[in-house]
Structure 1
Amino acid sequence: MTEEPQKPQAQSSGRTAAHGMAWTALSLIISKGLSFVSQIALGYLLAVETYAVFALLTTALIFVNGFQNSGVGKVLISKHDELEELLPTYSAFALWLGLIGMAIFLVVGLVFEQIYEIRPLFWMIALAGLSLPLKAISTIYIATMSIDYRFRDISLIEVKRSFFYYAVLVGAAALGSEGYTMAVAMAAAGGFAVWLMKRSAPKTKISWRLAPRTFLRMLVELRWVLISAFLMALGMNGDYLVLGDMLSPEELGYYYFGFVVLVNLTTMISVGLNQTLLPLFSKLKHDMPQLRRQYLRIGGATTLLMSLLCIAVIGFGPTMIHLVWGGKWDPSIMVIVTVAVALPIRLMSNLAGVVFESQGAWGWRLTVLLWDASFVVFCAWIGATLGGMNGAAAAVAGQRLFSGLLAFPLAARLIGLSMPRVGGFFARCFTIYLAIVAVLLMIDPWRHVTMHEDAAILLSLTETIVAALVFLAANWMINRELVTAMISLIRRRKPA
């Protein structure tokens, strides 16, 4: 294939990625902004121990993640040419799988109530279980809209769902729902989201008719996808499974709170990758030169963006946490800063996952997720054993870092990128970031929490701005192409 035919496609795919990620980023900025505002309110309304209940509810979802998010939507995207033929069967499969997951969730609730001795944990989990089949249906609607590149519609639905979810969340907490708060919001928002999607995509018909033999056949066919969904959830939240029994409810509450704050600030980038790049990479799977180019270009741009955000979190986060909640959640500062250091490299694992799924390489995807899930459980255990809550945070941050270092090169090899080129990519993307983070940590951003309020804000903000400017200037000198691509993603313009 000559360069002339490839160039328009390169511009088109880059523009599509930028457009999709811009809409996704906009919806996530709004939803995470709402989440942060609600977090401020919940931080005052709820006791620290209540967040331990939220952590255990999140842990329980590990065991049914494959039932609510079975990967059927991703399969539909990868087989977009057969959508009309596959939709009735696949949508029915997703619906029934969600209903089975809801039943299993009740069993998990009974077991958890006996293990963790929190009452009435079972009824909290049972209420949250109503969201499982609703979530399963939502994935089908999102898949069909993604195939048509309807990222704007998906994003607007997410914004409306977020307004509804956080209004219910804060309202329930204010009314004294305590441990039931998250479960109430999950169930209510799940129903609202399905209603919005049904209105937006009326031609997408969700079927419920499915012969038992067909269901079993599909279960076997999608076994790697389902196992991968379980392992993905375990890799993301498996630390709670261990720490729920090793830490006190108060320590677990601080640990979970720190992760929630960090996720609110950084998820917009990682979710943007998963949501917008899977349909794009799926349609590029027969054009390997272009796929390799976009893998490095978009990966580098989003990594720089995540690095910039994490520098802000490390530099200004401790002061913000202290001032916003008046010192109530200061013990979570170490968790936030420690994990933030590893997130830009962890993002490489997300990008690699998109490549595995777009290529249908479920064996490779399963192998990486299996390592990821088992390693996070081990790291959480060894970290908590040696250093309690902060030790667990440091160990899990290390696991997140190594996850990216492992997954990205494997996906690169799958699409034909050489290891020297991957090594050069890592050096370009992370050397400057790690040097600046090391300096920030050496000057100790925690010291600001003991200062006078005005001095703390001014000094920490100044240090953070200087660090960010140095990061951008250094990357402009040696990574100008990636900085330009990062700016184009933010502006929703085609990459230069």
Structure 2
Amino acid sequence: MTISIKKARVVAHKLKWKLSGQFVRNMGWLGGAELVNRVFRLATTVTLARLLSSYDYGLIAIILITHDFAATFSSAIDAKIIQASDKDLKVLCNTAYWMNWILFVAVFIIQCIAAFPLAWFYNDNNLILPICFIALGYLLLPVGSVQSSLIRRENRLNIIALINVLQGISLNVATVILAFLGFGIWSVILPFGLATPIWLLISLMNHPWRPKVPFTLYRWEEIAGYSTNVIIVEFLNKLRANLDYLIVGKFLGFQDLGLYYFAFNAGLGISMNVLNVIVSSLFPHLCAVRNNLNQLKLRYLSSLKTIALVVIPLVLLQSSLAPFYVPIIFGQKWVPAIPILILICLSAITRPFGEAAKLLLLAVDRSRVALAWNLIFTLVFALSLIVAVQWGVLGVAAAVLITHIILLPLFTLWTSKYIFDKNLPMKPLL
């Protein structure tokens, strides 16, 4: 009996390693890419911090926020291709290709139109041209979106890591050069013209899929039905991620927004990169076993442990060192941003766990549940920011920390019980 128990434990250990190994490898590829990018981004951040004013930072914040909102739509159809069954994949890819053309042309037009009311809202016409320029990249996305989705579906995230590295190096080097040449905010905007062509070229080179049928929207309802909830969830995520910027910019002005934006990027930049690595790695990892509740639970819980081991020490270390590295690296003019930086940085501890819980719901077709949670969280978050802005940017940063530290752990615990403890029936792919 003892021998059998030992054998069972060995088998279980091997199975656990097999299940988690791919997730860890994918995190390794993407994490390595982010590490390389972080080195180059650090040089860029230091350069911009010393050459640009807080007003410039405020302008850049609104421009990139607008682009960030529009980019919400880029992952919706991608998620359905990753989650689809093998027997449906061919049909859905052809339809997704043409849906992407409709989607991204519309996003390009909407972002350009949105530039004008934003300029009116913030009373600054310097926003219009940069927002329209960045939107040009959407016109290339339909050509390679399906290939990129299939690469993620096949868990070949080393290709995604390569794209991230080449994009990061190109953008950061170009930004530093343009900043020293005196291009101001355009030193950040112009390099965006390099990002999409790099992504497109590598995606086309690394996947043979090409559209084989003329224009078709066959079974578009299936893609749209799944993607709509994903889009809304991602939009709410982006809204929460940028709501503090919008409120600070409107009620406190671009000077305070620039200070807050610097603190957010200098403090949360590394942690958000880690979060992006986890999200990119985890979703295909969970979808691959979504029909087997036991394996899904094993992968999910193992992933949470990996997240905790990576994120918590990193965030605590960065927060504790902020008073030392900010004046040395970025300059004395950013010292007032240190308390803001620390509060925002600490809010990163629970963010990856909330994202993991959301991805678990999406993997098992519970996107409506994810949507309901995001609506509640966004409402509470917005109300807290509106109240907190009366105490300035430090009050806003405190509200960000409190809402994330309290609400995201509750959501993570509830999701685990909802999916695993109640043994909900999985919606089969086959």
TM-score by length of 1: 0.78
CA shift in 2, pair 1:207/1:164, >3 Å: farther
Aligned positions of 1:105-124 closer than 5 A: 105-124=111-130
Distance in 1, Cα, partners of 2:140 & 2:385: 32
Distance in 1, Cα, partners of 2:324 & 2:95: 52
| Structure 2 equivalent of residue 406 of structure 1 | 410
Does residue 152 of structure 2 align to residue 165 of structure 1?
A: no
Aligned equivalent of 1:275, options 280, 284, 287: 280
| Structure 2 equivalent of residue 441 of structure 1 | none
The aligned amino acid for 2:271 is: T
CA shift in 2, pair 1:376/1:128, >3 Å: farther
* Runs of 5+ consecutive residues of structure 1 not aligned to the other structure: 419-496
Quote how far apart the aligned CAs of 1:46 are.
1.4
Distance in 2, Cα, partners of 1:143 & 1:279: 10
Q: Deviations over 1:153-197 (max 9, x none)?
A: 221121111111112222232333323333322232122221222
What secondary structure sits across from 2:338 in the alignment?
Answer: helix
Q: Is the 8 A contact 1:76 1:86 kept in 2?
A: yes
Q: How many residues end up aligned between the 2 structures? A: 414
Does residue 209 of structure 2 align to residue 187 of structure 1?
A: no
The share of aligned pairs that are identical, in percent, is: 18
Distance in 2, Cα, partners of 1:305 & 1:346: 13
* Runs of 5+ consecutive residues of structure 2 not aligned to the other structure: 1-6, 423-430
What secondary structure sits across from 1:178 in the alignment?
Answer: coil
Distance in 1, Cα, partners of 2:308 & 2:342: 18
| Structure 1 equivalent of residue 3 of structure 2 | none
Aligned equivalent of 2:159, options 140, 144, 153: 153
| Structure 2 equivalent of residue 370 of structure 1 | 375
| Structure 2 equivalent of residue 45 of structure 1 | 51
The aligned amino acid for 1:402 is: I
| Structure 2 equivalent of residue 453 of structure 1 | none
What secondary structure sits across from 2:275 in the alignment?
Answer: helix
The aligned amino acid for 2:332 is: G
What secondary structure sits across from 2:350 in the alignment?
Answer: helix
Aligned positions of 1:61-76 closer than 5 A: 61=67, 63-69=69-75, 71-76=76-81
CA shift in 2, pair 1:341/1:87, >3 Å: same
| Structure 1 equivalent of residue 428 of structure 2 | none
Distance in 1, Cα, partners of 2:279 & 2:292: 20
Aligned positions of 1:242-391 closer than 5 A: 242-385=247-390, 387-391=391-395
TM-score by length of 2: 0.89
What secondary structure sits across from 1:117 in the alignment?
Answer: coil
Distance in 2, Cα, partners of 1:19 & 1:213: 36
Does residue 24 of structure 2 align to residue 32 of structure 1?
A: no
CA shift in 2, pair 1:138/1:316, >3 Å: farther
CA shift in 2, pair 1:141/1:212, >3 Å: closer
The aligned amino acid for 1:125 is: I
Does residue 243 of structure 2 align to residue 238 of structure 1?
A: yes
Could you say what the CA RMSD is over the residues aligned between the two structures, in angstroms? 2.4
Does residue 101 of structure 2 align to residue 95 of structure 1?
A: yes
Q: Is the 8 A contact 2:278 2:352 kept in 1?
A: no
Quote how far apart the aligned CAs of 1:273 are.
1.5
Quote how far apart the aligned CAs of 1:16 are.
0.7
Quote how far apart the aligned CAs of 1:115 are.
0.6
Quote how far apart the aligned CAs of 1:367 are.
1.2
Aligned equivalent of 1:178, options 184, 189, 197: 184
Quote how far apart the aligned CAs of 1:221 are.
5.2
| Structure 2 equivalent of residue 204 of structure 1 | 209
Distance in 2, Cα, partners of 1:211 & 1:255: 47
| Structure 2 equivalent of residue 449 of structure 1 | none
